[in-house]
Chain A
Amino acid sequence: MEEPDEITKEFLVESYENLDQLDQELVALETEPGNTERIASIFRTIHTIKGTSGFLGFTELQRVTHVGENLLSKLRDAELDLNQGRTTGLLQMVDAVRSILGAIEETGEESDDRYDELIGELERLLSPDADAPEAPAAEPAAPEAPAAEPAAPSAPVPEAAADQAAPEAPVSEALEAEAPVLDEAAPKAQAPEAEPKPKKEESSARGGHHAVAETSIRVDVGLLDDLMNLVGELVLARNQILQHAAGTDDTAFVSTTQRLNLITTELQEGLMKTRMQPIGNVWNKFPRVVRDLAIACSKQVMIEMEGKETELDRTVLEAIKDPLTHVVRNAVDHGIESPEARVAAGKPATGRLLMRAYHEGGQVNIEISDDGAGINVERVKQKAIDKGLLTVERASRMTDRELAMCVFMPGFSTAASVTSVSGRGVGMDVVRTNIEKIGGVVDVANRPGQGMTLKIKIPLTLAIIPALIVGSGGERFAIPQVNLLELVRLEGEVARSAVEHIHGIPVYRLRGSLLPLAYLGEQLQTRPAEEARDLVDGAINIVILQADERSFGLVVDEVFDTEEIVVKPLGREIKGIATYAGTTIMGDGRVALILDVLGIAQRSRIVSEHHARGGDERVAAEDPRLERQTVLVFQAGQDGRLAVPLDLVSRLEEISKDRIERAGGCDVIQYRGGIMPLIDVTSTLGKMPADDAQGLRQVIVHARGERAMGLMVDRILDIIEETVEPQNIGYASGLCGSAVIQGRVTDLLDIRGLIESVDPDFFGDEAA
């Protein structure tokens, strides 16, 4: 038995729904034969099934529906009258369709049954004088039990039972057994087979038959939204309880809380899934858009799609629909050249538009690439200067990449003429604004002469997002993780001299390049102006953020944890303040404001309000200085997310706690015929052990020649290849900094320091 593929399944669900309605409509039609609207609706349903079946290669289904459609079209055009014979014929056709669908559902393809007789009958009904000579079932019950009726004279089952059995359960097993009898009884036996079969089989058959239709239901989106809100509340309540549980010794309460925690997380994920829709739902219209557009511009464009099944929250999907359409239109209109120009440039006459979508680090990436002319940076530069968007002086200092990004400036358009398609200069900046509105980022990779790729990075969902909680002036603020690049904390003497000033504007040297700074306390006036730039506890915390392609450092008083926060909109009274993106409720029940990073950057004049670009070459993925690194991410303690470079990991072991022995004042284990010292990373870092260890510990083995050291951690999370920008923050001993890995702040474990703290001679030979 072969499973029907996705398309076929969808076709089945849809067709079953339509057929159920069709039965009712046909019957109703008989009572008021003149209702053309009804005929038209039936016609459309059959037409749809016919079209799809042809497309999917179900030839018999197509044959049956085709002749049915012919009959319906004549009825619709009032060339024929609907009499009982014709109604019966149509109902038989519906039953035939049903049984073919049943076979398709079970086997993935049509059965070998042929419906020549039915087709013949339907064709006969097409002639104007055709009556219903072969329909002996002129009883009143007949219309409701169309399938049963030809068999009526010999039917061993009372009519009423047949009524129910026939339309719903034409099952093939039953079919074979009863077929000979029925063939005699009913000369045009298509569906009637089902009728005399025992009740028992009927019910089991029914179960199997509608399986596809019954495993999916339609749900009101409003209901899902309400549920989502409720889960949001639950998440907040959970956070509050967790916080409360952290301060109590009641083990029963703590373990119940942990269960609640897990269930809530699963519920949240599950519900989130119900709101997920494949991006293909939006993309599906693009082939048509591209085709029409290509014809309008006399171009040849072929569209390819990868990752259509990538799922996104429906609100996000809704929000990217228009921007994507615009980008696609733009690529065809401006990107891809005319066939002649392409051939002259040595490219195939047909342009290629590739759309890709994939998940990465809790976000969705969408890439739209074309192999057209790319962005002509010289032209962009000239245009931007002509339009007064850039000064000559400034433009000359900009890199090609920055110039390419100029296409996102408001009022920019390079199309030589305004076409009906695009070129009014209101396009790309709207694209970017819309994407940024939902917390997304737009980037351009330009390959002059070879095409360009527009890369859009958007969050999976808008309702619940990870955020870093920071403090300023005694209040907490949430910063969406998408904007976060890294954290820098400087203490002592370094902190006092770290910030330099250019004409009073604070800057910080980050790995050699200047990073503009903004003080949150100063921007929000949460601290008195005269002391807004003072150090807090002799330290300075810089949250490095990205806004509008530029990075800047936001100096905050305190850095707390990262948390999943439920985003709530701003009230009307404070919507106008650009520095906030929303509100949320913290674990203790207090409200916190979510910072709008772009708004803060604009307020502190790091990014001008005209979206002008500055020189920022530090976008991680683009920076050639930073190499991608493979790291092992693990958990130590309840909230400790750490990473070590994979090349420092020799092996991973799982040991039970009772194998741990003591020797020479430290924990050891017998390992590979020797003794391996163990370091408990969790307690060394002063973290609370996670409770779910259950007698097993994970050990990261670091071996060097003959010697080996085991690092005990709570859980191995993942191995990731990512650009890691380590920061020498010096939070605590045993760590050598922090980095954003997979969009989350992760501490980097100082393996060497940790091992040396236990065994100073471990690396002895090479240190010398």
Chain B
Amino acid sequence: MAKQYCTFHLADLFFGVDVQEVQEVIRYQEMTPVPLASAVIRGLINLRGQIVTAIEMREQLAFEPRDPEKLPMNVVLRTEDGAVSLLVDEIGDVLEIEESLYERAPETVRHLVGDLVPGVYKLDGQLMLVLDTKKTLEAVAAA
């Protein structure tokens, strides 16, 4: 069994989310900041009339802030409550990955990214962290 993942880079890590959950991937969009919202929420994007909340993944995962010169990319997720965008550093390819390469995230990794990353795919030459989008959005809403 193989599964398709939409991949992206964040800091020095390589992530993937189930391609079924991704509505689209778009370049940086102008955003309207939301005063008083938590720092995770970078702003609101007008995506063809649909208002999308943009979530700074570096902030959510407590990474270093991004170099202000570099503009983030949007991974727009489809959710029950409309679309949400994850701001990431760079977009990777859509990969088709064998389920057999999956392994539960080791405790040490969990330590770093909490339970947002339930598992890891051991790819050739690199590891791909699976991002649990549902948990991520729950964490954002709770923030």
Provide the residues of chain A in CB contact with B55, threshold 8 Å: 573
Would you give the 0/1 interface string for B103-140, flagging 1 where the beta carbon is closer than 8 Å to chain A?
00000000000000000000000000000000001001
B33 at the interface (CB under 8 A from A): yes
Interface size range of chain B in the complex: 20 to 34
B35 to chain A, nearest CB (A): 4
Q: How large is the interface on A (under 10, 10 to 19, 20 to 34, 35 or more residues)?
A: 20 to 34
| A571–B51 CB distance below 8 A | yes
The reply on B87 being an interface residue by CB < 8 A is no
Are B32 and A475 interface neighbours, CB within 8 A? yes
> Which residues of chain B come closer than 8 Å to A585, judged between CB atoms?
46, 49, 51
A524 at the interface (CB under 8 A from B): yes
Question: A residues within 8 A CB of B141?
Answer: 572-573, 576
For the complex formed, measure the closest distance between the CB of A379 and the CB atoms of chain B, giving whole angstroms: 41
Q: Among A524, A591, A592, point to the contact of B36 (Cβ < 8 A).
A: A524
Residue in chain A with minimal CB distance to B32: A591
In the complex, which residues 411-465 of chain A have their Cβ closer than 8 Å to any Cβ of chain B? Answer: none
> How far is it, in angstroms, between the C-alpha of A125 and the C-alpha of B45 when the chains are bound?
73
- Which partner residue on chain A sits nearest B138 by CB separation? A572
Asked if B34 lies at the interface with its beta carbon under 8 angstroms from chain A, I say yes
Do A591 and B49 touch across chains, with their CB atoms under 8 A apart? no
A219 beta carbon closer than 8 Å to chain B: no
**Which residues of A542-580 have CB atoms within 8 Å of chain B's CB atoms?**
568, 571-574, 576-577, 579-580
Contact B34 A593 (CB under 8 A): yes
Knowing A236-B49, A568-B51, A583-B51 touch, does A593 contact B32 (C-beta < 8 A)? yes
Q: Which residue of B33, B45, B52, B82 is within 8 Å of A475 (Cβ)?
A: B33
Query: Given A590-B46, A591-B44, A591-B45, are A571 and B53 neighbors across the interface (CB < 8 Å)?
Result: yes
A576 to B34, CA, bound (A): 12
Chain A 571-613 near chain B by CB (<8 Å), digits 1 or 0 = 1111011011001010001111100000000000000000000
Least CB distance, B28 to chain A, in whole angstroms: 14
For A233, A573, A583, A592, the residue with the greatest tally of chain B CB atoms inside 10 Å of its CB is A573
The residues of A that contact B79 with a CB separation of less than 8 Å are: 572
B-side contacts of A526, CB under 8 Å: 35
> Could you tell me if B51 and A525 are in contact, using CB atoms closer than 8 angstroms?
no
What 1/0 flags go to A310-348 for Cβ under 8 Å of B?
Answer: 000000000000000000000000000000000000000
Q: A28 → chain B, closest Cβ, in Å?
A: 42
B32 in contact with A590 (CB, 8 Å): yes
A591 touches B140 (CB 8 A): no
Residue among A525, A526, A571, A585 with the highest chain B CB neighbour number at 10 A: A571
Q: With an 8 A cutoff between CB atoms, is B81 at the interface?
A: yes
B84 close to A (CB within 8 Å): yes
Residue on B nearest A477 in the bound complex, by CB: B35
Interface residues of B in 36-50 (CB under 8 A from A): 36-37, 41, 43-46, 49
Looking at A232, A526, A577, the one whose CB has the most chain B CB atoms below 10 A away is A577
Nearest B residue (CB) for A583: B51
A527 to chain B, nearest CB (A): 10
Residues of A within 8 A of B32 (CB): 475, 590-593
State A524–B55 Cα separation when bound (angstroms).
19
- The smallest C-beta distance from A679 to any residue of chain B, in angstroms, reads 42
Q: List 26 A-B contacts (CB under 8 A).
A: A473-B35, A475-B35, A524-B36, A525-B35, A525-B36, A526-B35, A568-B51, A571-B82, A571-B84, A573-B55, A573-B84, A573-B141, A574-B41, A577-B34, A579-B35, A583-B51, A585-B46, A585-B51, A589-B46, A590-B32, A590-B46, A591-B31, A591-B43, A591-B44, A592-B32, A593-B35
Please list the 9 inter-chain residue pairs (A to B) with the smallest Cβ-Cβ separation, ordered nearest first: A524-B35, A591-B44, A591-B32, A571-B53, A233-B49, A572-B81, A573-B53, A583-B51, A591-B46
Binding site for A on B (CB under 8 A): 30-37, 41, 43-46, 49, 51-53, 55, 79, 81-82, 84, 137, 140-141
